[in-house]
């Protein structure tokens, strides 16, 4: 399960417009960015976890509903969540969280960055 979900999650993140990935911190933390801003971090080791930007109110709700979602590990606890990908949820659940994270970052881009992103359509 884990490898298949890992591939699908990484593929979904990279399918986002102008998304790129790199390993700027170490060999085990893959960082996904749009316009130079992080929207997802993936732990390449077990347990398989992803960290995502999240609306603060939604983050509180998600953490209260799901035991596998906790405040962002080594990140701003108000704006980030860390999700243990354990396969108890369908892939669509994780994809929606990635979409939300990506949109949180895009919403904070400058007008010129948003225009540049739009011009790549």
CB 68 within 8 A of CB 86: yes
Give long-range contacts, CB 8 A cutoff, 24+ apart: 54-61: 54/79, 54/80, 54/81, 54/97, 54/100, 54/101, 54/104, 55/100, 55/104, 58/100
CATH number for 86? 3.90.1150.30
For residue 2, give both structure tokens: 């884990």
121 residues of the chain, pLDDT tens digit each: 456 899 999 999 999 999 999 999 999 999 999 999 999 999 988 889 999 999 999 999 999 999 999 999 888 899 999 999 987 899 999 999 999 999 999 999 999 999 888 876 5
pLDDT score recorded for residue 118: 85
How many residues in the chain? 121
Domains held by the chain: number: 1
Q: Domain residues for 64? A: 2-118
For residue 49, give both structure tokens: 């976890």
Question: Which of 105, 101, 1, 109 is closest to 51 using CA atoms?
Answer: 101
Tell the burial category of 49 from Cβ atoms under 10 Å away from its Cβ (0-12, 13-18, 19+).
Answer: middle
């Amino acid at each position: 399960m884990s490898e298949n979900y890992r591939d699908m999650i990484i593929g979904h993140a990279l399918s986002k417009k102008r998304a790129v990935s790199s390993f700027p911190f170490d060999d085990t933390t893959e960082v996904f960015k749009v316009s130079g801003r992080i929207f997802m971090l993936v732990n390449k080791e077990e347990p398989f976890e992803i960290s995502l930007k999240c609306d603060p109110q939604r983050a509180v709700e998600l953490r209260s509903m799901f035991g596998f979602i906790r405040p962002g590990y080594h990140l701003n606890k108000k704006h980030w969540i860390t999700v243990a990908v354990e396969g108890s949820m369908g892939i669509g659940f994780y994809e929606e969280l990635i979409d939300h994270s990506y949109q949180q970052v895009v919403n904070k881009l400058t007008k010129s960055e948003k225009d540049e992103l739009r011009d790549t359509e």
